[in-house]
Amino acid sequence: MAERERLREVLAESEHLGFLGPGEAFAGFDHAAGFAAALRAAGTVLDLGSGGGLPGLLLAVLRPELSVTLLDASVTRTDFLRRAVGRLELGARVRVVTGRAELVVRTPGWRGALDAVVSRSFGPPPVTAECAAGFLRVGGQLLVSEPPDAPTDRWPPDGVAVLGLVRDALDAPGLASFTAVTSCPDRFPRRSLRPPLW
């Protein structure tokens, strides 16, 4: 069976288990393919709040040069993701980590270590940016799914700048892209993530 067909079966199971919303296994597949196209050349990628496996599993299939980490706080979801990685025979370059992003980023080997972070539905913009920025090396990319017709003020320049990020000029519908121009200050992410940064 072709790798993409196996992936579609895995995503259909993910949807059946409730890790993806109704219809997301296929609609989400197409949207996640946009991540693969918009992601700059990168070696190490973290899927923040990987949940049902999108976009991380699809990136691993479409971009074989990537080393992908699927991060989620839910043991149930990461157990599913580990089985999915095995079924897709991606174990040599995809790992699954169970934990909260704001804690994992403070463990040795994670801070400022990754080329890219992707996020499909992790949380509101200030939470996503705060949790993601610490993982990125300078020059790394944060690529986030955006709802249709999202207002541009969801990502205020002053807000993301506090985290060392600058928004990129990206002509890709449904995605917002940022570059880490400086290292994220050590005080971020905060343990409580409250109040929101903006």
Q: In CATH, what number is assigned to the domain containing residue 19?
A: 3.40.50.150
pTM of the model: 0.95
Helix (H) or strand (E) holding 138, with range, is strand 136-145
**Residue 102 falls within a domain, yes or no?**
yes
Q: What is the pLDDT of residue 29?
A: 72
**Residue 197 falls within a domain, yes or no?**
no
Helix (H) or strand (E) holding 75, with range, is helix 75-87
Radius of gyration of the chain (CA): 16
Report the C-alpha gap between 156 and 81 in whole angstroms. 34
Q: What is the pLDDT of residue 105?
A: 98
Report the C-alpha gap between 101 and 135 in whole angstroms. 9
Q: Which of the given ranges, 11-25, 30-44, 119-133, has the highest pLDDT on average?
A: 119-133
Q: What is the pLDDT of residue 69?
A: 98
The total domain count for the chain is 1
Q: Give the number of other CB atoms < 10 A from CB of residue 87.
A: 13
**Residue 196 falls within a domain, yes or no?**
no
**Residue 189 falls within a domain, yes or no?**
no
Least confident segment among 82-86, 124-128, 192-196 = 192-196
**Residue 188 falls within a domain, yes or no?**
no
User: Could you read off the pLDDT of 103-126 as tens digits, one per residue?
Assistant: 999 999 999 999 999 999 899 999
**Residue 15 falls within a domain, yes or no?**
yes
**Residue 192 falls within a domain, yes or no?**
no
Domain interval for residue 171: 3-180
Q: Give the number of other CB atoms < 10 A from CB of residue 75.
A: 10
**Residue 46 falls within a domain, yes or no?**
yes
User: Could you read off the pLDDT of 134-177 as tens digits, one per residue?
Assistant: 999 999 999 999 988 888 789 999 999 999 999 999 878 899 99
